[in-house]
Amino acid sequence: MNLRPLLILPPLVLGVLGFVWMTRQGQPPVAEEPQATVAVRVMQVDPGRITPTAEGYGRVESAHRWSAVSEVEGRITRLAEGLAEGSFVDAGAVLVEVDRTDYDLAIRKTKANIAAAEAALAEIDRKEANTERNLEIEQRTLDVAQTEYDRVKSLVESGTSTQSALNSAEKVLFAQQNALTNVINTLALYPAQRASAEATLAVRRAELAEAERALGKTTITAPFRGRVNALNVEADQFIRTGETLLTLDSTAAAEITAEFAPRAFRNLALASVGGQLPQGAMVDTSLLSGMMGEMGITAQVVLDLAGTHARYDARIMRLRGTLDSQTGTLGLVVQVDDPYLANGATERPPLNPGSFVTVVLSAPPIPDAIAVPRTALQLDDDGAAFVFLADADQRLEVRPVTVGPALGADVLITDGLSGGETLVLSVPSPSIPGIRLIPVTPGGDG
């Protein structure tokens, strides 16, 4: 058997193995495929003391405005010195005086009428007293006439006198009876005459009171310390009844009707009770101002003046009660005491009527609360809230959360975050849980 052709196989196998070995030595090592990463903005979630606030806007108005309306007519004889729009006047200060001449004359005339009525009443009293004395005399005269008639009659019956004498005596008796009756009738008229005279006297006295009251109206005084809002008269001007002479704004307090979105009140109420109202609870707007006081909600007025913010403590007074038909906002009235009182220490300028201001409502601070920016809050397909977090390995985590009331640009988180987490502010793309993140802190380095 010829084996020589098989002798070539060992060298051939060795050659193939050597080529394979040399080829493998020359190949570079296989590199691992790089993982996807996403740069995101992050912030640290830290529990803190949060004060829930809500802002509304409105204009300053005087809490009390008084208009001086003329109740008499005449020529203005005097205006208070320096009286002009914008000037301040003290309570009780004389603002306007009207010519008193006609009203003084009316008082004198009425006093004369009263004197005449009193004299007429005194005359009636004197006449009544005289008539009562005449009544006594006439009664005695009647008794004498009656006695004479009885005597003559007895004489006639005894035949010692004539019928003519009896007739004369009877005639005298009748005349005296008539005289007595006239006196009695005259005396009966005096009560009615006295009542008439007393009524006339009462009218005259009422006319005097009216004239004195009209005289008092010729002087107009300030009912409180205030600032002149409008002045419509000048000295020597003739005014008529019913004309508005000036208007005065009280310096004691100013009011602002600030417009708030109705949900702002609900958010403050929610924040005040820990983020959750009792089941079935409803907010009655008619009782809302009282409820806000019970919840410890306070108000401040902020005036933006030349880039500075002046703050004034305010009291919550009442709600307007109806929603604005155009904006859907609810008006809340707050009051600031001593609005014109400037305070150099706090750089507080006077709060003048017409100023556009911001009213800030503040609920009691919530300790150890967690709030996140609204933009960091996400919703899934079912409407459930969640946030993106960066875990300890800098990988994306999806965390469900329970949301409380909105607090300005932030929203309160009542469950799901405990503090110390790294919140992702921007939406990563792609939003795949577990994807590696490159965290970037706003305003700093990653």
40-48+369-440 CATH: 2.40.420.20
Other CB atoms within 10 A of residue 74 CB: 19
Task: Note the CATH architecture for domain 102-216.
Answer: Orthogonal Bundle (1.10)
Other CB atoms within 10 A of residue 99 CB: 17
Domain with CATH 2.40.50.100 in the chain: 66-98+218-250
pLDDT in tens, 319-376: 877 777 788 888 889 999 998 886 655 567 888 889 999 999 988 888 888 889 988 8
Q: How far is CA 52 from CA 264, 300, 312, 313, 409, in A?
A: 10, 13, 18, 17, 11
Domain with CATH 2.40.30.170 in the chain: 53-60+252-364
Domain with CATH 2.40.420.20 in the chain: 40-48+369-440
Pairing relation of β-strands 37-44 and 436-440?
parallel
pTM of the model: 0.64
pLDDT per 10-residue tile (average), the chain, 446 residues: 53 59 53 66 88 89 93 93 92 94 94 93 90 89 88 85 86 89 89 91 94 93 93 93 94 92 76 51 59 83 86 88 79 91 70 92 86 89 90 90 82 87 88 87 62
pLDDT in tens, 15-69: 656 655 555 554 555 444 455 688 889 999 989 888 888 889 999 999 999 999 9
pLDDT at 277: 47
pLDDT at 320: 79
Domain with CATH 1.10.287.620 in the chain: 102-216
Question: Within 13 Å, how many C-alpha atoms sit on residue 66's CB side?
Answer: 18
pLDDT at 9: 56
pLDDT at 279: 44
- What's the burial of 362, exposed, middle or buried (CB within 10 Å: 0-12/13-18/19+)? middle
CA distance 151 to 137: 21
Q: Which two tokens stand for residue 17?
A: 């193995």
Question: Within 13 Å, how many C-alpha atoms sit on residue 32's CB side?
Answer: 3
Q: Which CATH number fits domain 53-60+252-364: 3.90.180.10, 3.90.1150.10, 2.40.30.170, 3.50.7.10?
A: 2.40.30.170
Cβ contact 259:330 at 8 Å: yes
Other CB atoms within 10 A of residue 248 CB: 24
Which residue in this structure is represented by tokens 């050659």?
Answer: 15
pLDDT at 429: 83
430 prior amide bond cis, ω within 30: yes
Q: Which CATH class is domain 66-98+218-250?
A: mainly beta
User: Which residues is 59 bridged to in the sheet?
Assistant: 356
Chain center to CA of 321:
11
Cβ contact 388:398 at 8 Å: yes
CA distance 86 to 227: 6
CA distance 43 to 168: 139
